[in-house]
Amino acid sequence: MDREGCLVISLPFRRTACYSPNWAMRGDAMNIESNQELAALLIERLCAGRDNRLGPNIDEAAWAKPLVGFCRGDDSVFLDFKQAVGPFHWTPQEAYRIAFPDATAKPGDLALIVWILPQTEATKKDNRAETRYPSERWARSRIFGEAFNDRLRAEVARELTERGYPAAAPMQLAEFHVENTDRYGPASTWSERHMAFAAGLGTFGLCDGLITPAGKAIRAGSVVAKMPVEPAGRPYTDHNAYCLYLSGGTCGDCIARCPVGAISPAGHDKTKCSEYLNNVTRPHVTGNFGFAGYGCGLCQTGVPCESGIPSQSTDSDT
């Protein structure tokens, strides 16, 4: 895929593949050096707040420190997504036009801002020990943690808009929907994982999860903003670069972790996975943990790509 137009972070004092600054934003007393830093600090501040919790009256964070990446709206990767997934898959410009029908914005005027919310060590440890059902912490992060992620989408869009950068979360637009495709089954008009790939935050694994520098036990979110950002390169060209099986023919550990055989050398069977989530884990979560929910994540924990980008040596250690 084309590497141009994507910015992870181009601040001279930061050269990491993704941006996770120490939290230093206090009211308006900020020393902000770029739009990217503004957005990253905003996201980190929100994640450090009281809303990031595993449930009502539970004083434990749902997510560890976020990673943030950027991509300019004129990156050709968005046209690649349209070709691969279907014409219904939005570019940032299409999403922006839906959100702001009276505004004008060229693709290069827009920034895609993406965050990765890593599971906490406690949640990963609990889920690693499971072989059939999700741990309670995992199920809570799926429901209450994702509810926080949704509030994060709205808050990031609102705060950027207030600061003069009109922004919207495509996942929250009324026009967001899922279509059935011959090749991939159900596919949505906006995929947070694909956007994270575009922003240089990770590549896809055999089980379809996104392997990021914080691993595959994550969730993602994004907004599109009319905000100048610099183009930069992704640290990969192959969309499966970080998966040991798809890039080197080793590992395959997520196949054995799946309790229903939804992962095979051919990839991820979305239908089988979703039937298990809905028909088996829903009653389990409600009956055992006392809230309406579901989840699994066994293929995201206890595997070499759980908490970072794996190497052949981590494969043999796990």
Which residues are near ligand SF4 by CB under 6 A?
205-207, 243-245, 251-254, 257-258, 260, 262-263, 268, 273, 276, 296-299, 303-305, 310
Sign of CA dihedral 145, 146, 151, 155: positive
For residue 192, which of 204, 183, 181 has the smallest C-alpha distance? 204
Contact present, 113 and 287 (Cβ < 8 Å): no
Cβ proximity to ligand SF4: between 111 and 244 the closer is 244
CB of 277 to ligand SF4, least distance (A): 6
Cβ distance to ligand SF4 smaller for residue 172 or 240: 240
Coarse DSSP helix, strand, coil percentages of the chain, rounded to the nearest 5 percent = 35, 15, 45
How far apart are CB 33 and ligand SF4 at their closest, in Å?
A: 36
Query: By the 8 A CB rule, do 178 and 187 touch?
Result: yes
| Shortest Cβ 244–ligand SF4 spacing (Å) | 4
Q: How far is the CB of 298 from ligand SF4 (least distance, A)?
A: 4
DSSP-derived 3-state class of residue 203: strand
Torsions phi, psi of 56, nearest 5? -60, 135
Query: Nearer to ligand SF4 by C-beta: 61 or 303?
Result: 303
Closer to ligand SF4 by Cβ: residue 190 or 204: 204
CA distance 288 to 286: 6
CB closest to ligand SF4, residue no:
205
Closer residue to ligand SF4 in complex, CB, 64/254: 254
Q: Which is nearer to ligand SF4, 35 or 212 (CB)?
A: 212
3-state secondary structure of 62: coil
Query: Which CB sits closer to ligand SF4, 93 or 141?
Result: 141
* 3-state secondary structure (DSSP) of residue 254: helix
Which regions of 145-231 does DSSP assign to beta strands (E)? 167-168, 178-181, 185-188, 203-204, 210-211, 218-226
Which two tokens mark 159? Answer: 């705060």
Return the H-helix or E-strand segment holding 168: strand 167-168
Q: In whole angstroms, how close is the CB of 228 to ligand SF4 at the nearest point?
A: 36
**Minimum separation from the CB atom of position 245 to ligand SF4 (A):** 3
* Cα–Cα distance for residue pair 60/206, rounded to 1 Å: 31
DSSP state of 282: H
Q: How far is the CB of 301 from ligand SF4 (least distance, A)?
A: 9
Question: What are φ and ψ of residue 144, in 5° steps?
Answer: -75, -35
Residue with smaller CB distance to ligand SF4, 37 or 306: 306
Cβ 175 to ligand SF4, closest distance in Å? 28
